[in-house]
Amino acid sequence: MNTPTSFSLRCTAKVFETTDAVTLTLEGHWPHQAKPGQYVILGVDIDGERCYRAYSLCAPSDDNRLQVTIKKVPQGKVSTYVVDVLSEGEMLDVSAPMGQFNCVDIAHHSQVLLLSAGSGVTPLMAMARHWQTIDNPPQFHFIHCAPNAEEMIFAHALTTLADKGQASLVYTRAHAEESSQQPPKQDAPTSVLAGRLTQAQLLTLCPDIAHRSVFICGPEAFMADATQWVTNLGCTSVYQEHFSGPATSELTPELEVLESAQSDSVVKIAVPSFGVEQEVAQGSALIDGLEAAQLPVIAACRSGVCGSCKCKVESGEVTTTSQETLSEEEIAAGYVLACSSHIVSDVVVSLG
């Protein structure tokens, strides 16, 4: 059964960007125009189970067609299925567009830097493609880091931008002597570097960076470094998109206590609107209990980023590690992200 606000679209094209990344074209009734940088939640049937994940759109959309780019990740059930198995003609559930990271709602300067690594290029490419179709776009420069040319998503589009002096490409696993890239035009910035990006190289590639708004997306470590660099270089208008929650190897002290108590204590999740009660180990993730009860909750990122698993704790106590997509009013009203909440006591939850 479709989730609320979802639409059934057909995959009409599947194009390999690299050996482990594909762009899907989805067509059908989808009465939305996504803002460049936003994402959708896809529902895919895998071995009789409906699985949901969030993926960024890679191009401007209309009310009948959209494109998403998906990179296979280790142990990624949905991304592996999409890249290796999904066929053209298959139907997928698609949500309305979501996300505050977009170049329409975010006020930005007339000069912009797009800074990405890996699959983080996807929402930024949507912005670049959008700006190429409108009147009076901002003047943008795109800096993208990839292991090498063969593993670079959107290689043709980025190379075309580099040839125009609108992009710089950084091959993180290449040696300078291995680069076959032609020298840049005399009036264009250096278009290719070999080795990992540094703050000094960033300034060389974009000398006027302090006067630009900066949009950043990529692995968490890359974004942390990039944010520090652009801040050091004088940028005051900096925006990030997170594909996963901040990496951490340690639990908070409170969660450590709950973790040790899981095998001994049992708590109850009650969802009155569905007439469901589910017993779980104390300290369990709320999303696990809701899924165990076979309730219609979507967890598209499972890391407290996308907000698809938002629900309301009517009574009882949970701890939470992410409130990223929740407003202050929602937090005050008891809303939590189920994937980032751990159960301390019996709780009553409402969905929707």
Please list the residues that pair with 167 across neighbouring strands: 142
Question: Which stretches within the chain are classed as H helix?
Answer: 77-84, 121-131, 155-163, 199-205, 220-232, 253-261, 286-292, 328-333
Domain boundary among 241, 267, 291: 241
Same domain, 14 and 48: yes
- The CATH number given to whatever domain includes residue 193 is 3.40.50.80
Rounded Cα–Cα distance for residues 52 and 89 (Å): 19
40, 68 Cβ separation under 8 angstroms: yes
User: Global pTM?
Assistant: 0.74
Identify the pLDDT of residue 190: 52
**Widest CA span in the chain:** 70
Complete DSSP assignment for 265-302 = -EEEEEEGGGTEEEEEETT-BHHHHHHHTT-----SSS
Backbone angles phi, psi at 263, to 5 degrees: -80, -15
User: Which tokens in the block code for residue 56?
Assistant: 């960024």
Give domain status of residue 102, yes or no.
Answer: no
Domain boundary among 197, 221, 241: 241
Rounded Cα–Cα distance for residues 210 and 113 (Å): 10
Domain that holds residue 204: 111-241
Same domain, 120 and 26: no
Same domain, 195 and 273: no
Strands (E), the chain: 7-18, 21-27, 39-46, 49-56, 65-71, 91-94, 111-117, 139-146, 167-171, 192-194, 213-217, 238-241, 266-271, 276-281, 310-315, 318-320, 335-337, 341-343, 347-351
- Tens of pLDDT, residue by residue, the chain (352 residues): 344 467 999 999 999 999 999 999 999 999 998 999 999 989 899 998 888 888 999 999 988 999 999 999 888 889 999 999 999 999 999 988 988 899 999 989 999 999 999 999 999 999 999 999 999 999 999 999 999 999 999 999 999 999 999 999 999 886 544 444 444 444 434 578 888 899 999 999 999 999 999 999 998 889 999 999 999 999 999 999 876 544 333 333 333 333 333 445 789 999 998 889 999 888 888 988 998 888 888 877 777 777 888 899 999 999 887 787 788 888 989 999 998 888 989 999 998 7
Identify the pLDDT of residue 298: 80
Domain boundary among 241, 265, 298: 241
CA atoms within 13 A on the CB side of 25: 9
Give domain status of residue 100, yes or no.
Answer: no
Same domain, 210 and 273: no
Q: Tell me how far the alpha carbon of residue 255 is from its chain's centroid.
A: 26
Same domain, 312 and 278: yes
Same domain, 168 and 269: no
The 10s digit of each residue's pLDDT in 114-157 is 999 999 999 999 999 999 999 999 999 999 999 999 999 999 99
